[in-house]
Amino acid sequence: MARGIRDRVVILGMGCSKFGERWDAGPEELMVEAFDEALGDAGIEKSQIDAAWLGVFFQEQSTGKSGLPLSQALRLPNIPVTRVENLCATGTESLRGAVYAVAAGAADIALAMGVEKLKDTGFGGLPERTKGATEDLWLPNSTAPGSFAQLASAYSNVHKRDMNDLKRAMAHISVKSHRNGALNPKAHLQREISEDDVLNAPMVAYPLGLYDCCGVSDGAACAIVCTPEVAAKLGRRDAVAIKALQLAPSNGYELTNDGWDGSHTLTTRLAAERAYAEAGISDPKTELDVMEVHDCFSITELVLMEDLGVSEPGRAIDDVLDGRYDYDGAIPCQIDGGLKCFGHPIGASGLRMAYEIYLQLNGRADRRQLDAPSTGLAQNLGGVPNRNVASVAIYGLTDLKG
């Protein structure tokens, strides 16, 4: 029987570049920026890393298809480098590769890097890439805003919630994220907005307005992971451990079966159920201290609160408006500003989420630091509501003294 990875891998160090319109840097410079911070945080030499994983989505426009860009940019000592991609969960996929290698005993210390360079590719939004049968047959002319706008309409209909109430909750989410992002020097957008700004903004895809949508940016983030035993030998007395890391991709059910009502993300529910079981969490409403979720749109964050089991079905609107996920709420969410303020350099986002949880659990989040959190969750969603891959990772403090 599979044992899972609970407490078998800890984070030795993490780093994150400044996100934004980084006209001053290519993907190589972004990777070096994140890696230098992670290596210094880990307190090791580059020669001690046994293997590395590189996550990048738009390879032709960004870094290339192989692992060589990472090896060359960081001047790694000829160690194995594997390049991975899994839609918007690419950064988490990179981390999963490194974590599994350490948990399996194939590496003592491993590196996970996620990077994306999008702002000087010549595209106004995300670049086009070759489409396969799913896009051609099932999702022709589909756009991300349009797809998630349908999620909002379905949610309102299924739960019989007034659209104006839903839009107010979505506005609260955007205002909350901008308030948090204004405290984060690495965020792309660092200014507060008002509810009126959100509700009166130009419409993108009803009911999603401009401030309901995350932007496009450049960035990189990375993690260095090892076993608790290796961390202890390096002098660590405590560390952030990976309690669970679960992944659930769509299998076609949402596209081909009328059993899915369009109001939620099925894969997140499955990944969360597995992650809670692996981490030993019985009640996420009371056992999670901080969350980062894939808020590509404000409606996504709201729906994910129910998919992750921290809001009851149909009640996320009320919890959001009651401030449950605000900085001073029961479970602060997007405490760093989220995708809303960082933008979404696809290969980097999953690791950027992990970076914030890591800082919070270590008490190193500066002006946005919460009061002694000990357990955090990061959720990544790649794709659109009816065809996606979801990951749920749970992190917690662990004592290495024993």
Q: Under 8 Å CB-to-CB from 317, ≥6 apart: which residues?
A: 161, 165, 166, 169, 302
First to last CA, the chain: 27
Half-sphere exposure of 98 (CA within 13 A, CB side): 34
Q: Which amino acid is at 82?
A: T
Q: Which two tokens stand for residue 72?
A: 């060359």
- CA–CA gap between residue 23 and residue 122 (Å, rounded): 12
- CA–CA gap between residue 7 and residue 240 (Å, rounded): 9
Q: What are phi and psi of 284, to 5 degrees?
A: -60, -25
Half-sphere exposure of 49 (CA within 13 A, CB side): 31
Choosing from 188, 264, 294, 344, which is the catalytic residue? 344
Tell me whether the omega of the peptide bond preceding residue 332 falls within 30 degrees of 0, making it cis. no
Residue 226 designated active-site:
no
Residue environment code for 297-327, b if the CB has 16+ CB neighbours within 10 A, otherwise e = bbbbbbbbbbbbbbbeeeebbebbeeebbbe
Choosing from 16, 88, 222, 226, which is the catalytic residue? 88
Residue pointed to by tokens 């749109």: 297
- CA–CA gap between residue 109 and residue 230 (Å, rounded): 8
- CA–CA gap between residue 242 and residue 60 (Å, rounded): 32
**In terms of DSSP bridges, do strands 219-226 and 208-209 run parallel, antiparallel, or are they unpaired?**
unpaired
Label residue 143 exposed, middle or buried (CB < 10 Å: 0-12, 13-18, 19+).
middle
Q: Under 8 Å CB-to-CB from 243, ≥6 apart: which residues?
A: 6, 7, 278, 279, 280, 375, 394, 395, 396
Quick count: other Cβ atoms within 10 Å of Cβ 400? 18
- CA–CA gap between residue 310 and residue 68 (Å, rounded): 41
Quick count: other Cβ atoms within 10 Å of Cβ 234? 16
Residue 344 designated active-site:
yes
Any idea which residues carry the catalytic annotation? Answer: 88, 344
